[in-house]
Structure 1
Amino acid sequence: MVKIDEFAVERWMDLYENGAIHNLAETCCASISLNDLHAFSGRATNLIDFSQKQVYGAIRGSSALRSNIARLYSSATSEPMRPEDVLVTNGAIQANFLALYTNVGAGDHVICHYPTYQQLYSVPASLGADISLWKSSEENGWQLDVTELKSMIKPNTKLIILNNPQNPTGAVLHRETLQEIVEVARQHDLIIHCDEVYRPLFHSLDSSQPENPPSILDFGYEKAISTGSMSKAFSLAGIRLGWIASRNASMIEAFASARDYTLISVGQLDDRVATQALSSPTVENLLERNYQLAKQNLDDLEAFVREFEWAASWTRPQAGTTAFVKFSRDGHPVNDVALCEQLLEKNGVMFVPGSRCFGNGQDFKGYVRVGYVPDRQVMVDGLEALRKFMRDGFEKVPVQVD
């Protein structure tokens, strides 16, 4: 039997999210209903066709849906993506799994951006790959050092895995860094797998960045793939719909073949809802709502960090829905697991502990992941409960002394 590590962040969410009063661990933009989707469309639409027979439907995703997904990658600096460059999957989690299962095997070496969603390194490890974690630096705004990447490459290196925007930090890899990574991959004939599930929620770029960072598919590199989802930036986690996109036809065919052994197709209802959500003007209206919600809630979180700067520090996220906040006392990081457990028990606020869910117990001590794009009132009430804990309970959280 294949040995795979427990999926720490998903286990934590499963254990605690249903009992939380103030869920500030959720990574999706505040979810929307079908009524909301109808309103964003600005016109009369029939999302559900009650006369439609519920067969498997278009196995790779309907042409309309794949066309809409392909348009998400439209850019003035690259050739347009085609519908056949997209394979629709059951969420980004299946997209990542299929791509890794297909591209990685025993004896391969994989370099993975870190910290990141555990699936991206635990699945290749379970398939027998040797994993090197390419660590981003908080001192450098959670950026990556491409010189370090060059030193990590081995004769058996097969794959570079990126997460852009990054979970849990909200950091962004910009065009210059991505271009350098592509050049390294091209030189060594490596596949680049980029989880872009938080794209295009670039809500807080600084003034030195005149454009949204490009997709990994924007560079014309044939061995690049992108995975995405309707869950995060598009507020529709409940339809369980994601995708793999690549200009490499042979890889798309291989992913489709592997998927035949898992979930053959997405549901027709899910396909139809996603198609509507990614149609114009619905998608523009939905994203504008989520941009504004992210900015407002992030400003509130920043106000909290400033108010409690004696205990809390961070690198402010530039994109996505998550922030990585470090809590310390008397110059030492607190026990982040104990912090999350006590905060939930005493004040009903849910965070995700960094050392357990994004590290090996030694990395990211004192860090918690905060999901800051829930409904507005959830954020307001959650931060108020957190302030109460900081005044009444924080001193009881143990610190970690090396």
Structure 2
Amino acid sequence: MVKIEAFAVEQVLDCPQWMDKYETIAKYNTAETCCASLSVDDLRELSEDKDSNPLARLQSAKLTYGAIRGSDELRGTLANLYSVKTPTPLPKDNILITAGAIQANFMLLYTLVGPGDHVICHYPTYQQLYSVPTSLGAEVSLWKTDASNGWQLDLKELEKLIRPNTKLIIINNPQNPTGAIVPHSTLEELVDLAREKSITLFADEVYRPLFHNITPMDKEFPPSLLSLGYERTVVTGSVSKAYSLAGLRVGWIASRDPSIIEACASARDYTTISVGQIDDAVASYALAPTCIHNLLRRNIDLARKNLALLETFIESHRWACEWVKPRAGTTAFVRFTKMGKPVDDVAFCEMLLDRTGVMFVPGSACFGGGEEFPGYVRIGYVPETEVLEQGLEALKAFMEDGYEDVPVKKKKT
């Protein structure tokens, strides 16, 4: 029987299902990884086509399974987005719509990986990306990054990790939890190496295109992995993070290799048959040219404004915290210390939540199995600005009257 590790972000030490247990009761939810959520009415306000309603055409429609692989409209819209500034457009049939990126990732890994395979995974990252391959019988090597070099990937280190049976290399770009990016030049080198070894590349791009600290004019601006001309590439994404629509449960798998899409579509028959018609329709509306640009502008502006607030807090509390400033996405990985020693981040998060209602995610428990990243917490800094402002004020008060009670991390003997 397959055994899979408990999902740490959902189950932390003696606090079962961390996010599920606390996010609905937290006064200031700064653990959320999505941009501040939107309603259908909000989307219509952002859209240049305010007279249309994505739900109207469904009022009299029969609620069947709908388009099994996703509507032509949604897949066509996504294909156009992936085809920008690429020599070869991506066909819509090379996209499979899924129930969120979490299903896209699982289905892709379930399809591509098995016993005897070797997988290399960018780290730290979303636990699903390395725990699922392990559960499927693959051996996983972690391609580690650290704050000392800005959480950047080292291609020479990757070369040391590659084996004759390396089947898949996984990256997360932009990255959760650090907010780092894999720059253009690194992506090109990675593609060259993978092509030479005939290794499939998989990029979880769920936080794309929320780039707020680098612009498309920068030569190192990271394109989608699909745009770099290597057929054995596959990416996943969703409308949850960068597009503020987590409640739709719409994600996708896109690949230059149609055989990957066909294999995933066959495997998905054992899980969800299709995405709901309502979810598909609203996602199509949000990603259409009449809406997507205003939607992204809203979220990038929100991320920049809120990141500046968080940076102000960190700069005024350098005696207790440090970070590598995020360049994209919605999360920051911040290290808290006392007299140079990392705090017990689980205890810190629990005490902070209990005394102030501010919710963070403990880094060592959720991203390092309890041993790595001591003192780190993941902060989701793109909720409504007033939530972050009030949360930071409460955190500031805790730092002045309460932080002294937080224990330091004890080393295991």
Alignment TM class, shorter chain as reference: over 0.9
Corresponding residue for residue 145 of structure 1? 154
Q: 1:47 aligns with which of 35, 41, 54?
A: 54
Displacement of 1:154 after TM fit? 1.0
Q: 1:15 aligns with which of 18, 21, 31?
A: 21
Q: Distance in 1 between matches of 2:304 and 2:83?
A: 25
Q: 1:376 aligns with which of 354, 376, 385?
A: 385
Corresponding residue for residue 239 of structure 1? 248
Displacement of 1:8 after TM fit? 0.8
Contact 2:185 2:220 in 1 (8 A): no
Corresponding residue for residue 93 of structure 2? 84
Secondary structure of the residue aligned to 1:143 is coil
Per-residue Cα deviation, 1:344-364 (whole angstroms, up to 9, x for no partner) = 000000000000001121100
Q: Distance in 1 between matches of 2:244 and 2:52?
A: 19
Asked if 1:261 is matched to 2:267, the reply is: no
Corresponding residue for residue 285 of structure 2? 276
Displacement of 1:18 after TM fit? 1.3
Q: In the alignment, residue 32 of structure 1 is paired with which amino acid?
A: L
Q: In the alignment, residue 262 of structure 1 is paired with which amino acid?
A: T
**Cα 1:207/1:228, change in 2 over 3 Å:** closer
Displacement of 1:74 after TM fit? 2.8
Runs of 4+ in 1 over 6 A off after TM superposition: none
User: Higher mean Cα deviation, 34-43 or 120-129?
Assistant: 34-43
**Cα 1:70/1:19, change in 2 over 3 Å:** same
Corresponding residue for residue 13 of structure 2? none
1:353-392 alignment to 2 at 5 Å? 353-392=362-401
Contact 1:354 1:369 in 2 (8 A): yes
Secondary structure of the residue aligned to 2:23 is helix
Secondary structure of the residue aligned to 2:9 is helix
What TM-score results when the alignment is normalised by the length of structure 1? 0.98
Equivalent residue pairs, number = 402
How big is the alpha-carbon RMSD for the aligned residues of Structure 1 and Structure 2? Answer: 1.2
Give 5+ residue unaligned stretches, structure 2: 11-16
Q: Distance in 2 between matches of 1:83 and 1:75?
A: 14
Q: Distance in 1 between matches of 2:216 and 2:402?
A: 39
Asked if 1:203 is matched to 2:212, the reply is: yes
Q: In the alignment, residue 46 of structure 1 is paired with which amino acid?
A: N
Corresponding residue for residue 188 of structure 1? 197
Q: Distance in 2 between matches of 1:56 and 1:328?
A: 52
Per-residue Cα deviation, 1:356-393 (whole angstroms, up to 9, x for no partner) = 00112110000000000001111111111110110111
Secondary structure of the residue aligned to 1:324 is strand
Per-residue Cα deviation, 1:78-112 (whole angstroms, up to 9, x for no partner) = 32212111100000000000100000001111000
Per-residue Cα deviation, 1:52-95 (whole angstroms, up to 9, x for no partner) = 10001110000010011112213324322121111000000000
Corresponding residue for residue 120 of structure 2? 111
What TM-score results when the alignment is normalised by the length of structure 2? 0.96
Secondary structure of the residue aligned to 1:113 is strand
Give 5+ residue unaligned stretches, structure 1: none
